[in-house]
Amino acid sequence: MFFIGLTIVLIFVAIFKPELFVQFIEWMKGVVETLGKWNYLLAFVSAFVESFPVIGVSVPGQNIMLLVGGFFWPENLFLMILVAVLGALFGNYVGYLLGRYYGNEFFERYGDWFGIGRTELRYMKTWIKNHGWWMVVIGKFHNVARAFIPFIAGSMGMKQKKFIIYNIIGSILRAVTIILLGFVFVEHYKSVLSYIGYILMFILALFALYIFFFKREEFKRYIREKEKEIEDKIKEAEILKWKAKG
């Protein structure tokens, strides 16, 4: 719910206050130009932190990489991509290792805070089991998936060799895509921001229509499972409360 609410807020800002985005981008341009070669470190840290479990959900690393790549890359393309790839590789690998040792306990205690309850975790583990390479590679383009899929992959015992291969492929693909998109974006960002709110609304509408026409039964099943999960947690809480009193 948090991320849906955040998306709605961003849509309203993009439609009614696009100048705020323009001001932020122009400020970032000044920062990038001032930092010079320190932008390599900024790109590495952004890619590392956004790939890190939990923290990566709230850090706009992808946006920073987009702007750093766009304003700084023309003379430094290869090295910029390299440091972005290395940052993502290390960040995801740390997430994978943490997941192997602490994943199940973490999700049981704090998963609901991030919208990943038992039901969502079960679905994600099934997807990773059936489509592991696809989830690790393509998941890098979504902020929640990027932060948590390596963590979940580690917690469910995905073989380290497989994860490393998928991680390398996904990190290279994403770094090249984001940095090249950054160049296009900074050239046309004022025009893009004029329509970004409507573009986001269109994407959300397409997603809703896709669910309605093609995934309706799966969505209903998910809702039923989520309701049962909530009921089970309420019962568990009542039992713990009763034991504490006893």
pLDDT by residue (tens digit) across 147-203? Answer: 888 888 888 888 888 899 999 999 999 888 888 888 788 777 777 777 776 777 787
Residue 15 domain flag: yes
Residue 45 domain flag: yes
Residue 172 domain flag: yes
Residue 233 domain flag: no
| pTM for this entry | 0.70
Residue 41 domain flag: yes
Residue 220 domain flag: no
Note down the domain range covering 121.
Answer: 2-195
Tell me the C-alpha distance between 205 and 203, whole Å. Answer: 5
Please state the domain count of the chain: 1
What's the rounded mean pLDDT across residues 45-67? Answer: 78
